[in-house]
Copies of this chain bind each other. A is one copy, B any other.
Amino acid sequence: MHVNPLQTIMNPKSIVYLGGSNSLSTIGTAQLVTILKSGYQGRIYPIHRKEKEVIGLKAYPNISSLNKPVDLAVLVIPGKAVPAVLDECGRAGIKHAIIITAGYGETGKNGKKAQEDLIRIAQKYGIRFLGPNCIGIINSRIGLNTTWFPEKYSPGHVGIISQSGSYVTQTLNYFEKIGMGISQAISIGNQADIDMVDCLEYLGRDDQTRSIALYIEGIKRPVDFLKVAREITAKKSIIAVSAGGTEAGARANASHTGSMGSPDKLYRGLFQQAGILRANDVTELFDWSLALSSQPLPKGKSFAVLTNSGGPGSSMADAAERSGLHIPIFSSKVRNKIKAMIPSAASSVNPVDVTMNYDLGLIFKKLPNLILNLKEIDGMLFYGIFGPVHFKDKIAMTGNTNGLTQDLLEEAVEKICIEFCNLPKKSNKPIFCASFTGREDSAVALIQDHGIPVYPTPERAVSAMAALWEYRKIKNRYKLRPSGGNNGNH
């Protein structure tokens, strides 16, 4: 197995940083601030012609004066300075680089020529590099974030490979809100050297990465892409969104990363053969990646809906059947068991609707246990998280709360939510939740942080379940062809 250059780029012990100063007027400084904020424990050596210190770090006038072995160079400098610096890296024995600088293949003839120059210099010294025209990388395992955006993110199991820097960096707040943690994220830019196939291969072997999200504007090596993707999707899921299917999309891509777009049907065929789930938009891309990184796959497509509100229950049931999933009617035996537990106006059929009801033990424990033990049910869609935030005013304003205090409520909710989150592992069946209240409800935050996704609408929870079922069918496909040459080492 050859050594993937990303092994060092994503896990550097030391970084030489070009483009940082003590003034916020350059983007390089802003990105250096992110690295310093991100918790990275390796050495960072800023290069600056005049300053002795850059943002509190000892600075060096040039790379050769550094006189230390360094794993990675990060370049956020003007285009005309890049060739000389890359050459200097080569002479200093630095074998890996991230070139953030833009103005290459994406800008026309002169840019393309400049990009070829970079490749030539890199090849001369055996340097492998990401970019140019990328925004860098994030590795949650070592707390390294080289991008402009220093926002908080959570370590998790989604790996991201993107031709747009935006989708691995500007999205960090968005990821937090849906409770999605990331393992590693790579902005590949113009792919002048390291490309999407290298990244796929690298994340395919990363144990922390359980699903891979791709944002694609154009594929450089379709045959290798197909081969590597198939090896991966036999074991872990890949979800992709591509933005080059229309004329306007292709035009935007050309000026963005210099990619040649392909007609939509080519992507469709390629993804299908590769076992890649195709998302229609970035909402689905991230929702599905989160789903597949966190929950066990269903064995079949029959699901239960458990809710404390009729509307969201109806929405879930309807959306599920529209997505090709099945919401079976429970047998009369099961319905009688459920009826004995729920209020008289409630429904036992499936959806099970307990109606507005604050018996936490019923909705988080008794009913889920009963439902997930049914052989005919492959997983559960859940609506009914109403945590402490909703009771604050009510407890404060009523004199007599029968001993209920905010603290007691929070304690009870915490205990029962954590128990609830053990159910997928215990039953080996997936659960997805929906709540219109986000992490400001501590019950939502708890459930997300203990591994069950909570989506902002009922239909998005259903869409996540449908993605799991799609991937189960893809995996079954591989099982049927165990002798195939491209199926990888599963």
Contact = CB atoms under 8 A, between A and B. Distances in A.
Contacts of A215: 311
B400 A22 contact: yes
A245 B457 CA distance: 19
A4 interface: no
A170 B111 CA distance: 53
Interface stretch (A89-97, A119-127, A318-326): A318-326
Contact of A313 (B148, B252, B401): B252
A143 interface: no
A390 B457 CA distance: 28
Interface stretch (A349-357, A365-373, A473-481): A349-357
A399 B22 contact: yes
A427 interface: no
A163 interface: yes
Contacts of A170: 309, 312, 436-437
A249 B345 contact: no
A215 B311 CA distance: 8
Interface string A29-48: 11001101100000000000
A251 interface: yes
Contacts of A253: 310, 314
A356 B398 contact: no
Interface stretch (A9-17, A102-110, A195-203): A102-110
A273 interface: no
A426 to B, nearest CB: 26
Contacts of A248: 317-318, 320-321, 326-327, 350-351
Contacts of A162: 311
A312 B164 contact: yes
Contacts of A318: 243-246, 248-249, 252
A332 interface: no
A163 B456 CA distance: 20
A247 interface: yes
A27 interface: yes
Interface in A425-483: 436-438, 440, 456-460
A461 to B, nearest CB: 11
B315 A347 contact: no
A190 to B, nearest CB: 11
A149 interface: yes
Given A252-B351, A349-B255, A437-B173, A243 B398 contact: no
A317 B249 contact: yes
A393 B147 CA distance: 14
A309 B22 CA distance: 25
A404 to B, nearest CB: 6
9 contacts: A23-B401, A106-B310, A164-B312, A217-B311, A247-B321, A252-B317, A256-B313, A282-B457, A283-B459
